[in-house]
A and B are shown apart, each in its own frame.
Chain A
């Protein structure tokens, strides 16, 4: 799953001598393309940007479980059911891993979770679209996880150590997810007419939203510059997007299906892939909370959390009791 591409602005303030020394060292680490670790001094804006990006990424994993969990109980074969379960479980693991990574920047998980549940924090807008058919499990794996990988592979080299290392592990699992998605589509594409139609329909619906996962066009992404300077971000949104389009344009041929993009072509002159204009108004509306499933997704997260409150309270009370008993003994 993808972190929404974002970044924060830089703060300009007068630094104390200690802070100046920290800043100098920070600059040096970035210049050497080395890694910032949790205990290193870092500019507040860097911390804030990373906290936002990493937690958004974690939230995307957690909300992203829902459209797929939606099909676990209806998966059309036991093998597919097992693969899908394992995949959704991986996503919970990625979420946990990323929350832990974010905690190293100083914000505890319950605070991050509150930000998600109250709608204060964002997550990848694509999960606000419904997973209506089984073929969507294929399209989500192939296109959504595929776009996520394109976004995330460069993040393995992100300047913040815990983030980069988390991404190495996550990317390995995501590439399995993409493969299984493609395989679902391949099976459908070679199946009955109804299955073929189901596969094409899913691609039609997920194509544009998956391209939007790379974030707004470079011209409308003013914060990208700072993230790039900090070596969190390595490639621009548009650069990653066109690379991804080129990749799926080839892969879709293997499926014998089509991408719903009449303008799609490789431009020899610029050496880049050209795709249709995307509806950024829709993107903004979905981010703002007005997508088809925003309310449903947040409600489900809130319900799970609220219905589990008594369980967490009991576990905490039990742990406290045990600790007291150990003290007495």
Chain B
């Protein structure tokens, strides 16, 4: 019944070198395991992990707001579960990224400024109604599922291991989003109208997801260039929409440059809320 139990729980993994064998695809990997690994990522690999981590963190922060506000109890649990999974992925990616710069996951989550975040605009978008949240989930979960599936082959063993855990969870997120897209798209006139609205609101931020950066080229087979996922994403997304009686919108993309630290106005508020307590007590541990 003490904080020490938690600290000591790490002891059971033995010395840090032993952890190398834990980091293999298929092995459930925790941020604590990554923290005691000896290998440090290069700056470039860390920059890549930071992108994956920031997307997951901001999405988790957004989704967690649904807990106790869902349309039914089952959805409080489902969305909470998805948020928790995303937070888990974020913690692993941020822990790994931080090792390059001697920072912890919390240093990165709580003490970076807005322009240092590398998240996509789409994860920053407000939850809106349940339809907007589901549509955002559909867009992101199909993308993340394709991405993590490809990252199983990453030449960086830690990225591959985190992805191995994440892909199983994101598979469920995708099922959840598809099931609800069908129910809402084919449910009532009202729900179909809301889903069309959700698509129109979110579509402008889809383009950014698939934009390549120099870092993707430089990283070679460590990373996956997002543009290579686009065709598969388009096909899957369009097929779900067709089943749901919805159409892919024709609205143009917005100029979204989250990967360069140029964010929407939403991120400032998200961070203000997320970071407030930690920043009130510099140096404190929790």
Q: Tell me the smallest distance from the CB of B52 to a CB of chain A, in Å.
A: 15
Give the total of A residues in contact with B, Cβ under 8 Å. Answer: 56
Q: When the two chains form their complex, are residues A78 and B187 in contact, meaning their CB atoms are under 8 A apart?
A: no
13 residue pairs of the A-B complex, CB under 8 angstroms, read: A72-B65, A73-B273, A78-B106, A92-B80, A93-B77, A96-B74, A183-B2, A187-B3, A300-B68, A307-B69, A310-B191, A311-B184, A321-B186
Known: A69-B68, A311-B184, A313-B188. 6 other contacts (CB 8 A): A78-B106, A85-B67, A86-B84, A92-B67, A310-B191, A310-B194
Whether B286 contacts A88 by the Cβ 8 Å rule is no
A72/B64 in contact, CB under 8 A: yes
Complex contact A310–B106 (CB within 8 A): no
A315 to B70, CA, bound (A): 14
* Residues of A contacting B76 in the complex (Cβ-Cβ under 8 angstroms): 65, 89, 92
CB pair B3 A314 closer than 8 Å:
no
Q: Quote the shortest CB–CB distance from A311 to chain B (angstroms).
A: 4
Q: Do B70 and A192 touch across chains, with their CB atoms under 8 A apart?
A: no
Chain A nearest CB, measured from B165 CB (Å): 14
Central interface residue in A78, A79, A99, A191, by most chain B CB within 10 Å = A78
Q: Cβ of A65 and Cβ of B277 under 8 Å apart? A: no
| A residues 135-185 touching B (CB-CB < 8 Å) | 179, 182-184
Q: Of B276, B277, B286, which is in contact with the most chain A CB atoms at under 10 Å from its CB?
A: B286
* Nearest 7 interchain pairs by C-beta: A308-B71, A314-B187, A314-B191, A311-B71, A69-B68, A89-B80, A318-B183
Q: Bound state CA distance, A192 and B131, in angstroms?
A: 44
**Interchain CB contact under 8 A, B2 and A314:** no
Check A265 for interface membership: any CB of B closer than 8 A: no
Q: Could you tell me if B1 and A85 are in contact, using CB atoms closer than 8 angstroms? A: no
Asked if residues B274 and A318 are in contact (CB atoms below 8 Å), the reply is no
- Does A312 have its Cβ within 8 Å of any Cβ on chain B? yes
| B67 and A76 contact, CB distance less than 8 A | no
Please report the C-alpha to C-alpha distance between residue A321 and residue B188 in the assembled complex, in whole angstroms: 10
Provide the residues of chain B in CB contact with A77, threshold 8 Å.
106, 110, 278, 285-286
B209 at the interface (CB under 8 A from A): no
Choose among A62, A82, A187 the residue that contacts B285 (Cβ–Cβ < 8 A).
A187
Among the 9-residue stretches B87-95, B154-162, B231-239, B250-258, the one with 4 or more Cβ atoms under 8 Å from chain A is: B87-95
Report yes or no: B273 in contact with A314, Cβ–Cβ below 8 A.
no
Quick check: A82 and B84 within 8 Å, CB to CB?
A: yes
Say whether A80 faces chain B, with CB atoms less than 8 Å apart.
Answer: yes
Interface residues of B in 108-164 (CB under 8 A from A): 109-110, 129-131
**How far, in angstroms, from A180 to B181 measured CA to CA in the complex?**
37
Interface: A317 (CB within 8 A): yes
**Which of A96, A182, A300 has a CB less than 8 Å from the CB of B69?**
A300
When the two chains form their complex, are residues B1 and A179 in contact, meaning their CB atoms are under 8 A apart? Answer: yes
Among candidates A69, A81, A88, A313, residue contacting B87 with C-beta atoms closer than 8 Å: A81
Interface residues on B, range: 35 or more
Q: List the A side residues contacting B87 at CB < 8 Å.
A: 78, 81-82, 85
Chain A residues 43-63 with CB under 8 Å of chain B are: 62
Instruction: State whether B3 touches A191 (Cβ < 8 A).
Output: no
Minimum distance in angstroms from B243 CB to a CB of chain A? 12
Instruction: Please tell me if A304 contacts chain B, counting CB pairs below 8 Å.
Output: yes
Q: Is the CB of A82 within 8 A of B1?
A: no
Q: Is the pair A304, B68 in contact by a Cβ cutoff of 8 Å?
A: yes
* C-alpha gap A128/B68 in the complex (Å): 15
Q: Given A73-B65, A77-B106, check contact A314 B281 (CB 8 Å).
A: no
A89-B67, A308-B71 in contact; A78/B281 too (CB < 8 A)?
no
State whether the Cβ of B105 lies closer than 8 Å to any Cβ in chain A.
yes
Distance A194 CA – B282 CA, assembled complex (angstroms): 11
Interface centre among B67, B68, B72 (most CB of A within 10 A): B68
Of A89, A186, A191, A254, most buried by chain B (CB within 10 Å of CB) is A89
Known: A74-B273, A74-B274, A186-B3. A96 touches B80 (CB 8 A): no
CB A298 to nearest CB in B, in angstroms, measures 13
Query: Are B68 and A317 touching (Cβ within 8 A)?
Result: no
What is the CB-to-nearest-CB distance from A312 to chain B, in angstroms, rounded to a whole number? 6
Q: Are A313 and B190 in contact (CB under 8 A)?
A: yes
Complex CA gap A65/B69 in Å reads: 10
Contact in complex: B183, A315 (CB < 8 Å):
yes
Complex Cα–Cα for A80 and B71 (A): 26
A180 to chain B, nearest CB (A): 10
Residues in A with CB closer than 8 Å to B3 are 183, 186-187, 190
